[in-house]
């Protein structure tokens, strides 16, 4: 059974106040084209469909178009998706009963009442049936009514919910989950675009994934395994922070064989409409390296000129249409950021200005500048008298 594993679409997201809807439309169209070419047996989306709980009409329309395009592929490819921590569970769940009739299976909330179970979807291939468990983002408070014991942590919440399912490990099982998983305390590699809770209280240990032949995980924006090879984050389809600049994004493709065999895992590269780039160097170097192909890209620029460059912002904007930020990194700015416990020394107006001038310019006053400063201070003193 071939599975396309996606997550963290974050439709409607902005990058430094630039809308990414055009980029997302481009990449979702590419995913549909790859699905039509590769014909997976299922497309899995492991949470964070939207970037905010109440997405814009444009974001909702884009996702609707994506689902409709996948659904139009013949023969029809089942789509299984869950809500992530960015999503509104109720909005994601809307019309789920109707959509299930079109092979779009949605789980917005984990079980919250004793009579409820984790949504399970069973598909089949030449080796038999595969049970997919759709487990949306779980908070301890969501599942407190299911258990007599107090649920004190995310780890306990997920563990108890999965134990309650009494999963038949003689069958092939796939979990779709959106949590922050760690492997015996080892954390996955993260990016600046992710939201983390202070103190790691949301961590869930991968030990809870033992009953599953594959765990299709969402929440972490970099594609990677966590613990075993078959426990994987697929990452985002687009870079959503400067820390992900020039990172190759992809679809994770999983091929399940017969029970007991290891899944085959590969990646299909995705080509963004525009790159996210980090450019570092002196102004003239960056301008000289700028090409027409880079003009439309999202760029983060760090200038290293020791002497203040002439009109850097205006000159950079003439070469780049989507500047995310312009930073300065040189001896002067690094010194300002250093913490010093040295005594301040001479705090007279003269001494304070000399120290400030040296910090800002990386040199002492010239003899002429020193004389001018003294004249100004002397005139000020005489005026006060």
pLDDT of residue 273: 96
pLDDT at residue 370, as a whole number? 81
Cα 340 vs. chain centroid, distance in angstroms?
Answer: 36
Residue 44 and residue 176 in contact, taking contact as beta carbons nearer than 8 Å: yes
Answer whether 221's CB lies under 8 Å from 8's CB.
yes
Q: Give DSSP secondary structure letters for 210-253.
A: TT-SEEEEES-SS-EEESEEEEEE---SS--SGGGTTPPEEEEE
Q: Could you report the per-residue pLDDT of 106-137, keeping only the tens digit for each?
A: 999 999 999 999 999 999 999 999 999 999 99
- For residues 9 and 45, the answer to whether their CB atoms sit within 8 Å is yes
Compute the half-sphere exposure of residue 367: CA atoms within 13 Å on the CB side of its CA: 0
Q: Which fold has domain 2-270?
A: Purple Acid Phosphatase; chain A, domain 2 (3.60.21)
H or E segment to which residue 184 belongs: none
Alpha carbons 311 and 366: distance in angstroms, whole number: 25
* Cα–Cα distance, 258 to 260 (Å, whole number): 6
Q: Is 385 helix (H, G, I), strand (E, B) or coil?
A: coil
What is the C-alpha separation between 309 and 307, in angstroms, rounded?
A: 6
**At 304, phi and psi to the nearest 5?**
-110, 10
**368-372 contacts, C-beta under 8 A, 24 or more apart:** none
232 beta partners:
216, 225
Domain limits, the chain: 2-270, 276-334, 343-384
Which among 223, 225, 178, 230 is positioned nearest to 204, based on CA atoms? 178
Angle between helix 349-361 and 367-384 (nearest 10): 140
Angle 300-301-307 (CA atoms, 0-180°, nearest 5)?
165
pTM: 0.84
106 neighbors 99 (Cβ within 8 angstroms): yes
Cis ω on the peptide bond leading into residue 194 (within 30° of 0)? no
Q: Of the candidates 318, 227, 323, which has an alpha carbon nearest to the alpha carbon of residue 274?
A: 323
Instruction: Quote the distance between the C-alpha of residue 11 and its chain's center.
Output: 12
Rounded Cα gap, residues 58 and 64, in angstroms? 10
Q: pLDDT by residue for the chain (385 residues), tens digit each?
A: 999 999 999 999 999 999 999 999 999 999 999 999 999 999 999 999 999 999 999 999 999 999 999 999 999 999 999 999 999 998 999 889 999 999 999 999 999 999 999 999 999 999 999 999 999 999 999 999 999 889 989 999 999 999 999 999 999 999 999 999 999 999 999 988 877 665 567 999 999 999 999 999 999 999 999 999 999 999 999 999 999 998 999 999 999 999 999 999 999 999 999 999 999 999 999 999 999 999 999 999 999 998 888 899 999 999 999 999 999 998 877 776 565 445 555 557 888 888 788 777 778 888 888 878 877 877 665 555 4
């Amino acid at each position: 059974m071939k599975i396309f594993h996606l997550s963290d679409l974050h439709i409607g997201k902005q990058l430094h106040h630039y809308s990414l809807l055009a980029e997302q439309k481009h990449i979702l169209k590419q995913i549909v084209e790859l699905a039509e070419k590769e014909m997976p047996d299922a497309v899995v989306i492991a949470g964070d469909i939207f970037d905010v709980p109440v997405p814009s009409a444009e974001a909702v329309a884009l996702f609707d178009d994506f689902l409709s395009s996948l659904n139009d592929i013949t023969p029809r490819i089942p789509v299984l998706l869950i809500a992530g921590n960015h999503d509104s569970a109720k909005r994601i769940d809307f019309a789920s009963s109707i959509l299930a009739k079109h092979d779009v299976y949605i789980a917005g909330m984990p079980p919250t009442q004793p009579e409820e179970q984790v949504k399970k979807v069973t598909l089949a291939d030449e080796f038999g049936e595969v049970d997919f468990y759709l487990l949306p983002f779980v908070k301890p408070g969501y599942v407190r009514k299911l258990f007599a014991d107090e649920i004190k942590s995310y780890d306990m919440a997920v563990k108890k919910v999965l134990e309650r399912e009494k999963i038949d490990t003689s069958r092939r099982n796939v979990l779709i989950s959106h949590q922050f998983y760690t492997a015996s305390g080892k954390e996955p590699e993260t990016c600046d675009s992710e939201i983390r809770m202070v103190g790691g209280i949301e961590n869930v240990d991968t030990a809870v994934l033992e009953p599953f032949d594959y765990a299709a995980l969402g929440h972490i924006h970099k594609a990677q395994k966590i613990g075993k090879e078959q426990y994987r984050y697929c990452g985002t389809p687009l870079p959503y922070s400067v820390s992900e600049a020039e990172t190759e994004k992809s679809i994770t493709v999983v091929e399940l064989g017969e029970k007991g065999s290891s899944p085959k895992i590969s990646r299909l590269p995705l080509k963004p409409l525009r790159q996210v780039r980090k450019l570092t160097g002196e102004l003239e170097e960056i301008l000289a390296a700028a090409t027409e192909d880079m003009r439309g890209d999202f760029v983060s620029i760090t200038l290293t000129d020791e002497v203040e460059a002439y009109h850097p912002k205006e000159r950079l904007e003439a070469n780049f249409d989507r500047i995310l930020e312009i930073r300065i990194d040189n001896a002067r700015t690094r010194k300002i950021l250093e913490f010093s416990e040295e005594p301040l020394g001479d705090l007279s107006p003269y001494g304070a200005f000399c120290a400030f001038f040296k910090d800002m310019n990386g040199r002492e006053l010239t003899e002429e500048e020193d004389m001018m400063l003294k004249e100004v201070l002397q005139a000020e003193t005489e005026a006060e008298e």
